[in-house]
Homo-oligomer: A and B are copies of this chain.
Amino acid sequence: MLINGRETEQLSVLDRGFQYGDGLFETLRICDGKPRHWALHMARLNEGCARLAIAAPVVEVLRTEAERLCSGQVDGVLKITVTRGQTQRGYGYTGALEPTRVLAVFPAPQFPASHATLGVKVRLCQTRLGSNPALAGIKHLNRLEQVLARAEWTDATIAEGLMRDNNNNIVEGTMSNLFCVQAGEDGPVLKTPLLEQCGVKGITRGRIMEAASATGIAVQETPLSVDELYQAQELFLCNTLIGIWPVRQLEEHCFEVGPVTQQLSHALESRHD
């Protein structure tokens, strides 16, 4: 682990990441010693920093530190956290703060291989995502809603929980984005929740939207009700670490692993962006 370039796991509790969750993070997959989709993650990190008015770390510095940590790791997870830095007590800050950067490598999570092929069982969470356009889309450090939602179930056969906003629309999973496939007049339509009020705009979500468009599948970002999900032809989850997981059961509703999901899974694996 590297904190501001130093090999340590310890940070002052005066860091605003600890005080207020005043920062953001990226979770990257490591393959053969290299973090994947580096440019996409850096673009999102920079955009998030800009929106929160946090001075973004120099990408070349992050790159050097990431390479140092990932080198020799066959697989794993690289988590990059950036906070506004350290101040005294109080929400306000003045002048240019030195942001804090934390790069840490974790083991790759162990999920059953069947999750990606046969699909997963998913539940609907009671904990809602509050609306805030100023924070929507950003992978920021204010994650209590996800923590509470994930704590709602202990049944190990349930792989993920879906979260709704206060209008009862589906937003995302606790750790994943969500897509559904509906029949359209000119073929299947891929829909994913519009993330203008809450939610995280995942890198894999973006890659899937691009892959779908490239193969001629219509893509829509749109509010999605629970009923629309129940009536969908196909349903799947995604994130950087899991790739695509078809949903075979959501509450009492069952789904087949459909052709669009399979096509996009293959497309995602074969794209080297």
Contacts and interface: CB of A to CB of B under 8 A. Distances in A.
Interface stretch (A34-42, A63-71, A129-137, A211-219): A129-137
Nearest to A3: B13
Given A92-B151, A175-B91, A21 B141 contact: yes
Contact of A91 (B131, B154, B174): B174
B20 A141 contact: yes
Contacts of A117: none
A131 B127 CA distance: 11
Interface stretch (A101-109, A202-210, A255-263, A264-272): A101-109
A131 B133 CA distance: 12
A interface SS class: loop
A27 B22 CA distance: 18
A119 to B, nearest CB: 20
A37 to B, nearest CB: 18
Contacts of A131: 128, 130-131, 166
Contacts of A177: none
Interface string A229-249: 000000000000000000000
Contacts of A9: 12-14
Contacts of A151: 53, 92-93
A210 B205 CA distance: 51
A175 B90 contact: yes
A238 to B, nearest CB: 17
Interface in A124-165: 127-135, 140-151, 154
A1 interface: yes
A132 B135 CA distance: 15
Interface in A1-19: 1, 3, 9-19
7 contacts: A16-B147, A21-B142, A93-B151, A128-B133, A130-B198, A131-B166, A135-B148
Interface of A: 1, 3, 9-22, 27, 52-53, 77, 79, 81, 84, 88-94, 102, 104, 106, 109, 127-135, 140-151, 154, 166, 174-175, 198
